[in-house]
Chains A and B, each alone.
Chain A
Amino acid sequence: MEEQLEPNEMIVHLGPQHPMQPGPFRLNLRLKGETVVDADIELGFIHKGIEKILENKTYLQGITIVDRICYLVALVNEECFVGCTEKLLGIEPPERSQYIRVILDELTRIQSHLLGMGEFGEFIGFVSMFMYTIREREEVLGLIDMITGARVTHSYLKFGGVRDDLPDGFKEKALSVFNNLKKSVDDFEEMFHTDRIFRERTVGVGVLTADVAKNLGVSGPVLRATGVPFDIRKNEPYLVYKDLDFKVCTETAGDCFARVQVRINEIRESIYILEQCLDQIPGGPLFPEGTMYGRRTPVMRVPAGEVFHRVEDPRGEMGMYMISDGSDKPYRVKIRGPYYPTLQALPPLIIGTTVADVASISGSMDGCTSEADR
Chain B
Amino acid sequence: MDVAEILKSLTDAFPEAISEATAESEIRARSYVDKDEVRKVCQYLKDSLQFDHLCSVCGVDYIKRNELEVVYHIASYNHPVVLTLKARLPRENPEIESIVSVYWNANWYERETYELFGILFKNHPNLKPLVLPEDMIGEWPLRKDYEGFPNKTARNLV
Residues of A within 8 A of B (CB): 43-44, 47, 49, 51-52, 214-217, 219, 228, 230, 235-236, 306, 308, 310, 317, 319, 321, 323, 331-332, 334, 336, 340-341, 344-345, 373
- Cross-chain contact of B77 among A214, A332, A336, A341 (Cβ < 8 A): A214
Q: Which residues of B contact A317 (CB under 8 A)?
A: 55
Q: Which residues of A contact B27 (CB under 8 A)?
A: 236
Q: Assuming A44-B131, A214-B52, is B105 touching A308 (CB within 8 A)?
A: no
Q: Which residues of B contact A334 (CB under 8 A)?
A: 56, 58, 71
Q: Complex formed: what's the CA distance from A341 to B109 in Å?
A: 9
Taking a contact as CB atoms under 8 Å apart, the answer to whether A336 and B108 are in contact is no
Taking a contact as CB atoms under 8 Å apart, the answer to whether B82 and A323 are in contact is no
**Hey, what's the 0/1 contact readout for B1-36 against A, CB within 8 Å counting as 1?**
000000000000000000000000001100000000
Q: Complex formed: what's the CA distance from A193 to B103 in Å?
A: 37
Taking a contact as CB atoms under 8 Å apart, the answer to whether A43 and B131 are in contact is yes
Taking a contact as CB atoms under 8 Å apart, the answer to whether A44 and B60 are in contact is no
Q: Which residues of A contact B129 (CB under 8 A)?
A: 44
Q: Assuming A319-B73, A321-B58, is B130 touching A345 (CB within 8 A)?
A: no
Beyond A317-B55, A319-B56, A332-B60, list 12 extra A-B contacts (CB 8 Å): A43-B130, A44-B131, A52-B141, A214-B52, A215-B104, A217-B104, A306-B84, A321-B73, A332-B58, A334-B56, A334-B58, A341-B105
Q: Which residues of A contact B105 (CB under 8 A)?
A: 216-217, 341, 344-345
Residues of B within 8 A of A (CB): 27-28, 52-56, 58, 60-61, 71, 73, 77, 80, 82, 84, 103-105, 107-108, 129-133, 141-142
CB distance from A242 to the nearest CB of B (A): 12
Q: Assuming A214-B77, A217-B105, is B133 touching A44 (CB within 8 A)?
A: yes
- Cross-chain contact of B80 among A43, A49, A236, A344 (Cβ < 8 A): A236
Q: Complex formed: what's the CA distance from A310 to B81 in Å?
A: 12
Taking a contact as CB atoms under 8 Å apart, the answer to whether B132 and A321 are in contact is no
The chain B residue with its CB closest to the CB of A335 is: B56
- Of the A-B pairs whose beta carbons lie under 8 Å apart in the complex, a sample of 11, sorted by A's number, is A43-B130, A44-B131, A44-B132, A52-B142, A217-B104, A219-B53, A236-B80, A308-B28, A310-B55, A331-B60, A344-B105
CB distance from A40 to the nearest CB of B (A): 10
Q: Complex formed: what's the CA distance from A51 to B116 in Å?
A: 11
Q: Complex formed: what's the CA distance from A319 to B84 in Å?
A: 13
The chain A residue with its CB closest to the CB of B115 is: A44
Taking a contact as CB atoms under 8 Å apart, the answer to whether B131 and A308 are in contact is no
Q: Which residues of B contact A44 (CB under 8 A)?
A: 129-133
CB distance from A171 to the nearest CB of B (A): 33
Interchain residue pairs A-B with the least CB separation, the first 10: A217-B105, A336-B56, A334-B58, A44-B131, A47-B131, A341-B105, A236-B80, A235-B80, A344-B108, A332-B60
